[in-house]
Amino acid sequence: MRDGGAVTYLLHLRCRECGRTYAPVPVAACDDCWAPLEAVYDYGALWSDLSRGEIETRPANMWRYRELLPLEREPWVGKQTGFTPLVGAPRLAQVLGAREVYIKNDAVNHPTLSFKDRVVAVALNKAREFGFDTVGCSSTGNLANAVAAQAAAGGFKTFILVPADLEPEKLIATQIYGATLVKISGNYDQVNRLCSEIAQKYSWGIVNVNLRSYYSEGSKTLGYEVAEQLGWRLPQNIVVPMAGGSLITKIAKAFDELQKLGWVQPAATRFFGAQATGCSPITTAAKSGTAEIVPQKPHTIAKSLAIGNPADGHYAVKTILGSGGAGEDVSDEEIVEGIRLLAETEGIFAETAGGVTVAVARKLLRQGRLSPDESIVLAITGNGLKTVGAVSGELEASVAIRPKLADFEERYLNVTAVARA
Amino acid sequence: MDSRDSGPHVLLARHPQGVPNFLRREVALSITVRIPPPLRKFTGGTETFETTARDLKELFDGLEQQYPGIKQSLCTPDGTPQRFINIFVNDEDIRFLGGAQYLFQDGDEVLLIPAIAGGSAEAPPHATRPVKRE
């Protein structure tokens, strides 16, 4: 950091299609071709000013990589977000028949238990830089929770648009923060369309619309952390759940940047994208070898991934196919099995998206498309307590017993009265 | 049933294969296209466009005739919509209605929305610019 800390390495935003550049303002799409804009940094200056050693001395949160994020001032909300555990998962690996499996556990991210805390922390700091007093989003749940919580802490007025059929936990965990929750009778894609119309009319900071170019950069920190936690090494494979498709592309960007800065040895990580079969526009395209997305009407228990018209689907497929990875999807039954498998082997209770990731990894290993002898990171992006309804019916209903040792032994240890005597 | 879902003109519009062209021309459709902010530079700020286009191709051509230069922002030269534009008819993505094959019905409202919509090159008026790195 230099003089007062008001330092940025962000140069400009650049259109991903035509290359036109834009000053860092609240705009998400190119005026000419409507394509998304990508934050571009001064990597030469970063290379000379910053080192791994410097990063390692900093507090354990996502802002240890602050210079690689698009803020132009010091962060003031979400200051404790990120640097979630990377957990070695030997018991899961054994069941999967793999050698080296890690869980990147964003189910315990601060403050709202999903990876969305990362993107929202960047978006709301940026909203403040731009002078917005009102923020909002369209969401499948986790983003709603993250925006509501961090906007409360930041003192923003907040409008949050969600499909009305979201899990009750996610609705409550939005309203509790005092956000205006706007329930829409429709699916996410319809909610998102309305949100886009609102963003066009009102001068608000909509995190996944006009702040999107900044917001999405927050996802890179998951990638930086995985590399640092592996001892500044890139994994050979990573399995990432996909909704809008942004996260997987941003982890790829993070890995590229780390190689550019010389902080990791060059490595060709294979990216595997995971979806629910009931909403699989990205994996369907990847399987047919095309980056052209055909939208779908979602029907899956994995509501956090239920985006039928994914904004970054095109780039997600390119990331997957360009890395030599694959896209795969799983049924609702397999999703529940995935949640249980992760919980029972590693003690981590993931939401439905985590079940998708684990089940897809198992499917890819069985198909021989993931190599069991290579390192595999599973991105677990949300907490199981937010989607308990997806698994509650699967668990045995326990019957109350009297507070008697005999009752306990008889019911749980199969010890009968005769045997005891 | 919605009133615009019935009536002979709609039946003709829906089933054009068996209808002679001279009859099709009798069909007087009126549809409204809402122009999003990024495209208003072509329309001089106008927010809506009324047209009698029967399908997407005619809609694009009609817009181009009225507002020269707008078409290349909307579709490729062969009429395929740009990848980053979503086109909604009333509340439905046109791709679920048949895409280029969809025949507009009287009263349809067409929304053109960037896949990643919104934003402007202007910050809010009260925004202050932070200090840039030297």
Q: Give residue-wise pLDDT tens across range A246-297.
A: 999 999 999 999 999 999 999 999 999 999 999 999 999 999 999 999 999 9
Tokens representing A269?
């990580």
Give pLDDT, residue A197: 84
Determine, yes or no, domain membership for A379: yes
Which range marks the domain in which residue A291 is found? 1-114+220-421
Residue A344, SS3 per DSSP: helix
Domain annotation covers residue B94: yes
First to last CA, chain A: 75
In B, minimum Cα distance to A30 occurs at: B38
- Torsion sign, CA atoms B128, A61, A380, A372: positive
pLDDT in tens, B39-78: 899 999 999 999 999 999 999 999 999 999 999 889 988 8
CA distance A241 to chain B (A): 20
Pairwise CB contact (< 8 Å): A131 & B121: no
B110 backbone dihedrals φ, ψ, rounded to 5°: -105, 125
pLDDT at B116: 65
Task: Give domain status of residue A393, yes or no.
Answer: yes
Whether B134 maps to a domain, the answer reads no
Residue A174 lies in a domain: no
Q: Is B57 within a domain?
A: yes
User: Residue A401 has what pLDDT?
Assistant: 94
Q: What is the Cα–Cα distance from B24 to B87, expressed in whole angstroms?
A: 24
Alpha-carbon dihedral sign for residues B53, B91, A278, A251: positive
A34 to B115: CB separation less than 8 angstroms, yes or no: yes
Q: Let me know if residue A271 belongs to a domain.
A: yes
Residue B2 has pLDDT above 50, yes or no: no
- A131: nearest CB among B118, B121, B124: B124
Structural domain count, chain B: 1
ipTM comes to 0.82
CATH number at residue B83: 3.10.20.30
Q: What local confidence, expressed as pLDDT, does residue B3 receive?
A: 42
Report the residue from A2, A199, A294 with minimal CB separation from B118: A199
> CB distance from A196 to chain B under 8 Å?
yes
Residue A199 in any domain: the answer is: no
Residue B122 belongs to a domain: no
Residue B88: inside a domain: yes
pLDDT in tens, A162-179: 999 989 999 999 999 999
- Residue B16: give the domain boundaries: 3-114
pLDDT at A421: 65
Residues 6+ apart with CB under 8 A from A414: none
Domain assignment present for residue A407? The answer is yes
Cα(A218)–Cα(A69) distance, integer angstroms: 7
User: Domain with A326 in it: what CATH number?
Assistant: 3.40.50.1100
pLDDT of residue A6: 54
Looking at residue B8, what is its pLDDT?
43
Is the omega angle on the peptide bond into residue A111 within 30 degrees of 0, that is, cis?
Answer: yes
Give residue B44's Cα distance to chain centre: 17
- Whether A248 is covered by a domain: the verdict is yes
So what's the pLDDT on residue B29?
83
Residue B54 forms part of a structural domain: yes
Q: How many domains does chain A have?
A: 1
CB within 8 Å: A6 and B95: no
Assess A20–B contact: CB distance below 8 Å, yes or no: no
A56 touching B, CB under 8 A?
no
Nearest-by-CA chain A residue for B85: A34
pLDDT, averaged in runs of 10, over chain A (421 residues) = 62 94 90 89 97 98 98 95 98 98 98 98 97 95 97 97 92 96 92 87 92 96 98 98 97 98 97 98 98 94 93 96 98 98 98 98 98 98 96 85 94 80 65
- For residue A396, being part of any structural domain is answered with yes
Alpha helices in A167-230 (DSSP H): 168-175, 188-201, 212-215, 220-229
Checking if the pLDDT of B121 tops 70, the result is no
